[in-house]
Structure 1
Amino acid sequence: MSELLTKAKDLAAGLLASPPMAHRWAHVQAVGQRATELTVTVAPADRDLLLAAAWLHDIGYAPGLMDSGLHSLDGARYLQRHAYPPRLVGLVAHHTCARIEAAERGLAEQLEAFPLEEGALMDALVTADLTVGPQGQRLEVAERLEEILRRYPPQSPVHRAIQRAEPLLIAHVRRTLNRLDVDKQSAS
């Protein structure tokens, strides 16, 4: 395990493994596991970055870190203040189409301060997040999106953002699953 991944896991555990964050911690652990399964869909040089981002993607929900109301932005700001690699900070900032929620909250300009990663790496991170439910259970992307929409009322910025982002989110997952199928076929 790389130093970055060890540091990411330790930080996530330190921020999220307390009783008030039990469901979030279960989700993050399962996203980390799912990302491990998806590492074959990204370049070998990016695999540790994917895993670190999976472990850190929801740290912005931690007590004391939540500031703006947008967990991805708050997590990214924390990581930036603590000198984490810029690509990792950008992945956390922009995971799961956060730019759409940022626009709903009037925070788009603040989120744009972080680099937006596109391609297989972001696809895999979004897939890991959107194929794991809030208690760590494996879900299909449609089930996960429905679960989020049920959890947040229609007037919530999260609800509105998920509705707007749904086609983009599904496309991230499809691309990753296609890459996973290609990898399985070439291994046969």
Structure 2
Amino acid sequence: MTATSVLLSAIPDAAPAGPLTVTARRVAESLIGEMGNRWLHTQGVARRAAELAGPLGVDADLLTAAAWLHDIGYAEATVVTGFHPLDGADHLTRRGWPVRVAGLVAYHSGARFVAAARGLSELLAAYPDERTVLADALTYADQTVGPSGLRVDPAARYAEVLHRHGPCSWNALVDADRGPYLRAIAHRVEHLLALPAAA
């Protein structure tokens, strides 16, 4: 049993991994499995996504697959533009992944704001920006897991990203728009999670 399968088996009340998730985990590990904190973060995001799917009533296989794949655009083999959401989505498209998975990767965590600042909006627009509860869940999972794979508060995670990338980064440049967008997603997801379970 690999460390990844141990991680997945430790998820309480998570459905068994579906076919998309199994393949996505394999792809992610082949691309970023040796990337230290990037891989730890990805494992944590996948675990968080699996935990969120049931309570939010979304497709667990799709959400968890997208979580495994959300940062593959950092892998050297995928880099074309240097913008990881777009490079990851393009890599998936070239390999025949469903367009919905590629779209979730392309737009995760407010990527559209950075894409606009970098002049990449037209390229990103090749993918669907679905703006659903499932898309919110992917972003929330990403924004509640730190670099080491541990759970963090969304505000702390966002502050850490800004600090790590620095005051002259693209993330800092779009903070006035992206920050409120991410806070709104966190509010929506946390509101849904706080609702009483349906009888």
TM-score of the pair, normalised by structure 1: 0.93
2:172 aligns with one of 138, 144, 159: 159
* Identity of matched residues, %: 44
Deviation at 1:180, TM superposition (A): 1.3
Q: Does residue 13 of structure 2 align to residue 2 of structure 1?
A: no
The CA RMSD measured in Å over matched residues stands at: 1.4
User: Does the 8 Å contact 2:31/2:77 carry over to 1?
Assistant: no
Match of 1:150 in 2: 163
Deviation at 1:187, TM superposition (A): 6.4
User: Does the 8 Å contact 2:46/2:68 carry over to 1?
Assistant: yes
Distance 1:91 1:131 in 2: 17
Spell out the pairing of 1:26-45 with structure 2 (5 A cutoff): 26-44=40-58
1:17-46 Cα shifts (integer Å, max 9, x gaps): 11xx111000000000111110024445x2
User: Does the 8 Å contact 1:35/1:125 carry over to 2?
Assistant: yes
Q: Does residue 196 of structure 2 align to residue 180 of structure 1?
A: no
Instruction: Pick closer, same or farther for the CA change 1:137–1:162 going to 2, 3 Å.
Output: farther
Distance 1:118 1:58 in 2: 19
Distance 2:183 2:104 in 1: 18
1:92-127 Cα shifts (integer Å, max 9, x gaps): 000011000001111111101111011201110010
Deviation at 1:161, TM superposition (A): 2.7
User: Does the 8 Å contact 1:145/1:162 carry over to 2?
Assistant: no
Distance 1:162 1:35 in 2: 25
Spell out the pairing of 1:106-185 with structure 2 (5 A cutoff): 106-182=119-195, 185=196
Instruction: Pick closer, same or farther for the CA change 1:36–1:166 going to 2, 3 Å.
Output: same
Q: Does residue 27 of structure 2 align to residue 11 of structure 1?
A: yes
Counterpart of 2:31, as a letter, is L
TM-score of the pair, normalised by structure 2: 0.88
Counterpart of 2:136, as a letter, is D
Distance 1:175 1:164 in 2: 17
Match of 2:102 in 1: 89
Count how many residue pairs are aligned between Structure 1 and Structure 2.
Answer: 183
User: Does the 8 Å contact 1:28/1:55 carry over to 2?
Assistant: yes
User: Does the 8 Å contact 2:56/2:193 carry over to 1?
Assistant: no
Question: Mind listing any 5+ residue stretches in structure 1 that lack a counterpart?
Answer: none
